[in-house]
Structure 1
Amino acid sequence: MSSTKRLNRAYKNARKIAFDDKSKFVIFSDCHRGDNSFADDFANNRNIYFHALNYYYREGFEYCELGDGDELWENINFESIFEAHKNVYQLLRQFHLQNRLHMVWGNHDMVYRDQKYVEKHLSSYFEPIDGEDKSLFVGITYHEALVLQHKDTGQELFCTHGHQADWWNYNFWKVGRFLVRILWKPLQVVGIADPTSPAKNYKELIRIEKRIKKWILNNQLKLTIVGHTHRPRFPEPGQIPFFNDGSCVHPRSITGIEIVNGEISLIKWHISTKPDGTLQIVRVLLEGPEQLKAYHNL
């Protein structure tokens, strides 16, 4: 199956979410939450991420995570990841309880396309303090894609992980998972990168982006937001509307996309130093805001 057919299928089966100019969304991907070991890339940014997530929760945002939220190639099960980042999942649970959590699976958490797996591992967790199971993400469903559809204009924002344009990581993700667990995870400690990852393979990254842009051109310039390559992308109005939210495993920073007041922006959260030497986590606007209607092409 070609990348075009995979993207078409993802779009056809996407969960549709209605929104208007009063709606607020934050879109992150590629958190790669791990077990807090030396190979857990998320651990370096977990305080930044948790602070940002708290901000979006307080401000009434809906949270969209476009795949690779949990690192289930390096780690065998969700339980070890949950224990390492329990505060994050408890906050995500609050989004879920208010129907403000929208989850997409990527190649590193592709097991979540199996609803039985999700129900078995994410519905509850064991609390050793009380010695009993407690509810977590009861009734949650992961999707291959989301389509945010504007109530007034009908404009659609197609949101998916983006590995549909990556032949190896979509079709042979189990082989990739095996290689990462057995070979590349141990080699990370000495600085050898996984060559199958488009985030660390520039030529493959460019090829993936070209395939997605081609799909956009063949689908009436539909505004598309992806992750997977970890490279933030924010086009100007009039260019191909191909957006990438980046990742949450950049060195000392995380990037994402906000949709507020009918506008779209690329943002970064990072640690900054005050004049007195103390540290603070700050939000920086990288690109935008631009009116969504500037990219509208029915």
Structure 2
Amino acid sequence: MSTYERLTEVLELAEEIPYNDSSKIVLMSDTHRGDNSWADDFAHNENLFYFALEYYFAHDFTYIEIGDCDELHENRRFEEIRQAHSDVFFLMRDFYNDGRLHLIFGNHDIVRKDPKVVERTLYRYYDERTQRYEPLFDGIEVHEGLVLRHWETSKRIFLAHGHQGDLLGETLWWLARLFSRHLWRHLQLLGIRDPTSPAKNYKKRRIVEREYIRWVKSQDLIFICGHTHRPMFPKSGKPPYFNTGSCVHPRSITGIEIESGEITLVKWWIRPRSEEGGVLYVARDVVAGPEKLSSFFP
């Protein structure tokens, strides 16, 4: 099936989450959390990500991950990822216990389309200190897509990773995993990029983005996804396709905030404070917006 057909199919089956103008939601994707080895693209941004997530927890945001957040192509066991980034997962557990965490799977964590995999790996973990199993995200569902529907207007925001319809990313995902686990993981250590990934192949990325735009033009909603690693925030009057970017950029992470009926693309990065002798601090910068969500709905 094509990207157009698959996105339509996922939309029709997507669970709905109500929101209104007082809702506070942050969307991130493509963290690619790994095992803290040299091949872990997330490791260098872990502190940055944790700081941002603490900010969102303290400010009562709901956190939604839009796929490819755990690197399960390159890594065989999620438990190794959880141990490598345990502080992050414990903070995410705080969101979950507060009813403020939702997960969507992408192509690199596509195994989570199987509820049995989710139950086996995410419901609980083994605590070495207490030597017993403790709850992590007990009872969580991992979705292929979600719809945010406004309480008053019924306007919809559709969330999906964006790999739908991709031959290697979806249909032959097991083959892509084989390459990632046994070939690209090792070549990555040598600095060689994966040419099959839209995140690292400019031509393929442009083709994928054109498909997103063609699809969203036929819908009466806003579409937010990840997958390409390229942040997108359309100008007013343009097709309402947004992209969260990624959390694996060498110097920053990006995400999309929805607050007070407005949408904003933000960047978190480490910058020097020259007036304090070059002391480094974590900064949140607005890349685009804020703009009224209502201005993007058809």
Q: What fraction of aligned residue pairs are identical, expressed as a percent?
A: 48
SS at structure 2 position matched to 1:163:
coil
Unmatched 5+ residue regions in structure 1?
Answer: none
Q: Compute the TM-score of the two structures, normalised by the length of structure 2.
A: 0.98
Task: Find the aligned partners of 1:55 and 1:186 in 2 and give their Cα distance.
Answer: 35
Residues 246, 256 of structure 1: 8 Å contact kept = yes
> Distance in 1 between the 2:146 and 2:115 partners?
17
Aligned partner of 2:226 in structure 1 is: 227
Instruction: List structure 1 segments (4+ residues) > 6 angstroms apart after TM superposition.
Output: none
Q: How does 1:110-125 map to 2 (within 5 A)?
A: 110-125=110-125
Between the two proteins, the alignment pairs up a number of residues equal to 296
Per mean C-alpha deviation after superposition, the further-off stretch among 122-131 and 71-80 is 122-131
Indicate whether 1:169 and 2:169 are aligned.
yes
Structure 1 CA distance for aligned equivalents of residues 122 and 64 of structure 2: 17
In the alignment, what sits opposite 1:189?
189
Offset at residue 128 of structure 1 (A): 1.0
Once the two structures are superposed, residues 116-146 of structure 1 have per-residue CA deviations (whole angstroms, 9 ceiling, x without a partner) of: 1100111111111111111111000000011
Computed over aligned residues only, the root mean square deviation of the Cα atoms, in angstroms, reads 0.8
Q: Deviations over 1:11-47 (max 9, x none)?
A: 0111201000000000000000000000000001000
AA of the residue aligned to 2:235:
E
Shift of 1:190: 1.0
Q: Which moved more, 1:41-50 or 1:161-170?
A: 161-170
* Alignment-derived partner of residue 10 in structure 1: 10
Contact 1:165–1:208 (CA under 8 A) maintained in structure 2: no
CA contact (8 A) 1:165 1:211 kept: no
Amino acid at match of 1:256: G
2:297 maps to what in 1? Answer: 296
| TM-score normalised per structure 1 | 0.98
Q: Aligned ranges for residues 148-167 of structure 1 at < 5 Å?
A: 148-167=148-167
Counterpart secondary structure, 1:41: coil
SS in 2 for 1:47: helix
Q: Which amino acid aligns with 1:251?
A: P
Structure 2 SS opposite 1:180: helix
The superposition leaves residues 47-90 of structure 1 with CA deviations (integer Å, 9 ceiling, x where unpaired) of 00000000000000000100001000110011000000000000
| Counterpart residue number, 1:236 | 235
Gaps of 5+ in 2: none
- Cα distance between partner residues in 2 of 1:148 and 1:236: 21
Check whether the contact 2:104–2:142 (CA below 8 A) recurs between aligned residues. yes
C-alpha distance in 1 between matches for 2:296 and 2:168:
31
Instruction: Report the AA paired with residue 91 of structure 2.
Output: L
Give 1:165 shift.
4.3
The equivalences for 1:43-192 within 5 A come to: 43-192=43-192
Give, in whole Å, the separation in 1 of the partners of 2:13 and 2:281: 42
Q: 1-side partners of 2:129 and 2:25: how far apart?
A: 35
- Asked if the contact 1:165–1:212 (Cα under 8 Å) also holds between the matched residues in 2, the reply is no
